[in-house]
Amino acid sequence: MDSTNLDRAVRIKTNSVRGGFVENVYARNITIGEVNEAVLKINFYYKEGDTGDFTPAVRNINMENVTSRKSKYALLLKGYERSPITDVRLKNCTLDNVEKPSVISQVKSLVLENVKINGELVKTDTKELAPVDSSR
């Protein structure tokens, strides 16, 4: 994958008008050159937003051995308070030249294992996915 016309590498889009369930997604061994927006985007506010009666659910999303050379965001994850995105796991991923901090809203159980953003190992317990302080 490599194109300035490619907005995202992995994208899951839904809303409460469309509803539905997405679960058990595995993306492995992917090399990404450049994406315009995010390496992983999960968005519950697609098109009509939260205006319907069918609350969606997204869970158990896994990315492993993914590399990216350039993106605006590493992660862009937006769930609902009543239905958070659940169990997102990234393992052994290297995402370079990321312009902005990740956007993470209403996500339950985000696990990053050996994930580097812009050359820095990141931790899960911050919305910005800040580099780990190696002096600790």
| Cβ partners under 8 Å of residue 135, min gap 6 | none
Provide the sign of the torsion angle of the four alpha carbons 55, 78, 21, 14, taken in this order.
positive
Structural domain contains residue 134: no
Supply the pTM of this predicted model: 0.88
Within-domain flag for 45: yes
Q: What was the pLDDT predicted at 131?
A: 40
- With b for 16 or more beta-carbon neighbours within 10 A and e for fewer, the 63-100 pattern comes to bbebbbebbbbbbbbbbbeebbbbbbbbeebebeebee
Identify the domain containing residue 117 by its residue range.
8-121
Identify whether 100 is part of a domain. yes
Q: In angstroms, what CA-CA distances link 29 with 40, 62, 90, 118?
A: 14, 11, 12, 19
42 in a structural domain: yes
Please report which confidence band the pLDDT of residue 125 belongs to, taking 50, 70 and 90 as the band edges. Answer: low
Count of domains observed in the chain: 1
Q: DSSP secondary-structure letter at 71?
A: B
pLDDT bracket for residue 88 (50, 70, 90): very high
Judge whether residue 130 has pLDDT over 80. no
Tell me the pLDDT band of 136, cut-offs 50, 70 and 90: very low
- Classify residue 130: in a domain, yes or no: no
Domain annotation covers residue 136? no
Q: Which residues contact 109 (CB under 8 A, 6 or more apart)?
A: 86, 87, 88
On whether residue 131 sits in a domain, the answer given is: no
Question: Tell me, what's the pLDDT at 128?
Answer: 44
Residue 52 identity (one-letter amino acid): G
